[in-house]
Structure 1
């Protein structure tokens, strides 16, 4: 059973390596809706312990949206990462890489009670289990794809090979009453036109927002996912028409262009207005 989310969703999520405290501090003071402090792929093995200590130091009093990406349970750093996160403010979320089974999620949720878990699905097995992962614990706050690893696992090199997996995770999130997934980071930091085009394709599939690996990507992502002025005007018209019709006891409702309306369109219109409120 699903419910509707009309909260202001985060559109821009910026990754920063935990072993670069200067970059983390700059990101925390920047414009990203969420700062993602990475203990995993962005940090070399020899620097893991120091990176964790820096993350704790920088985030112990943070008062803005932040998530920390942990190392996988199969690594020697996972236990220390979890222990460190348990000491951080409760609003600091956990970005969980390479999730494949509901048991992995429920075990982590038990060790970090009350803390939001943001799951990254990065393998074919994870994609197959997407809905079960989304419902594995009450503290699962989102699911998304980690597309670099997923491309390797699926042995695909173009976006075409990811189309089914992308649709699968969008459907699983919706079925589990979670917000729409954010897109995986676009790796070509200088190709802003390609980023905009990729975001538009993701938006058509049902994604909302995107992770970034460079601050220059943030304005492009935000613009791509914010509704246009025309979309906002139409959404307001839908809300007004349906509300007026309900008050008047009228069943059939149509816009000026002849489009007939129903409750599902009202829900979508409210989602558009919630997005517009992030501008």
Structure 2
């Protein structure tokens, strides 16, 4: 497997976690409208239920799925059970701290897309090394609960530097913009919306969720507004009509990066 992924027809904005030992919940997640489902074999599953969760997940992925299904693994047994199944879209690797963590999985999971979750100070320090460790790496993201505990971050602002670091590392590696970590209070939709707006301002694209009611809030937060779409369309049209110009007729400065950003906005808007 070589190279980096190109643009998907519709960039995934919503990623819904479901516990692997609850097949009924997984099935509901698959019809929830989420762009992708993450079956969790790690934190959401008690140790004495993991064997059952692994078996149930393997059964689920024995055939292709209309909604992409990723699996957050808990150990090497999960890899052995899931690699090569036609319904598996990717493995999400918890607690990745260094490039060698990626190498170990890639060696036993050929042709499998890997997504690294950085959940420690060491993982943040090694973010770019992890992102470029192997062509199988298709994304990196934060695991904020463990990271917050390790850093002793007393407020949400204490995680802004690690968040920015992950965004920069992903983009420098040619990977898609990272997905925001979960918002744990499923009842606080206003707080979720504000948190998504902040994440978007930092360069994230989309968010993981732990309840279907969070999905519409995340999608609204990450889709461009009508004014953003209008502005992007103006930039693209004017740039095409004035090739090589550094300013639009209304005086706005443009360069290749601004035009590219406008195209990305229009690409996202096509989801509507």
TM-score where L is the length of structure 2: 0.95
What is the CA deviation profile of residues 221-247 of structure 1, one whole-angstrom value per residue up to 9, with x for unaligned ones? Answer: 00000000110111111111111222x
Equivalent of residue 41 in structure 1, options 28, 40, 43: 43
Partner of 2:117: 120
Q: How many residues are matched?
A: 268
What is the CA deviation profile of residues 131-173 of structure 1, one whole-angstrom value per residue up to 9, with x for unaligned ones? Answer: 0000001010100000000001111131111010000000000
CA distance in 2, matches of 1:124, 1:23: 33
C-alpha spacing 1:62/1:124, structure 2 compared with 1 (3 Å) = same
Instruction: Structure 2 unaligned segments of length 5 or more: list them.
Output: none
Deviates more, 1:138-147 or 1:150-159: 150-159
Q: CA deviation at 1:86?
A: 1.3
Partner of 1:253: 247
C-alpha spacing 1:4/1:114, structure 2 compared with 1 (3 Å) = closer
Residues 1-279 of structure 1 aligned to structure 2 (within 5 Å): 6-7=7-8, 8-63=10-65, 64-71=67-74, 78-89=75-86, 91-246=88-243, 250-254=244-248, 256=250, 258-279=251-272
Aligned partner of residue 92 in structure 1, secondary structure: strand
CA distance in 1, matches of 2:7, 2:89: 22
Q: CA deviation at 1:49?
A: 0.2
Contact 2:91 2:114 in 1 (8 A): yes
Aligned partner of residue 148 in structure 1, secondary structure: helix
Q: CA deviation at 1:91?
A: 4.8
TM-score where L is the length of structure 1: 0.92
**After the TM superposition, which parts of structure 1 deviate over 2 Å for at least 4 consecutive aligned residues?**
2-8, 250-253
Contact 1:90 1:115 in 2 (8 A): no
CA distance in 1, matches of 2:245, 2:89: 46
What is the CA deviation profile of residues 217-273 of structure 1, one whole-angstrom value per residue up to 9, with x for unaligned ones? Answer: 000000000000110111111111111222xxx4333253x2111101011111111
C-alpha spacing 1:155/1:189, structure 2 compared with 1 (3 Å) = same
Q: CA deviation at 1:5?
A: 6.0
Contact 1:14 1:213 in 2 (8 A): yes
What is the CA deviation profile of residues 22-66 of structure 1, one whole-angstrom value per residue up to 9, with x for unaligned ones? Answer: 000111122000000000000000100000001111121132211
Alignment RMSD: 1.6
What is the CA deviation profile of residues 79-111 of structure 1, one whole-angstrom value per residue up to 9, with x for unaligned ones? Answer: 210111114117521011000010110121121
Deviates more, 1:22-31 or 1:40-49: 22-31
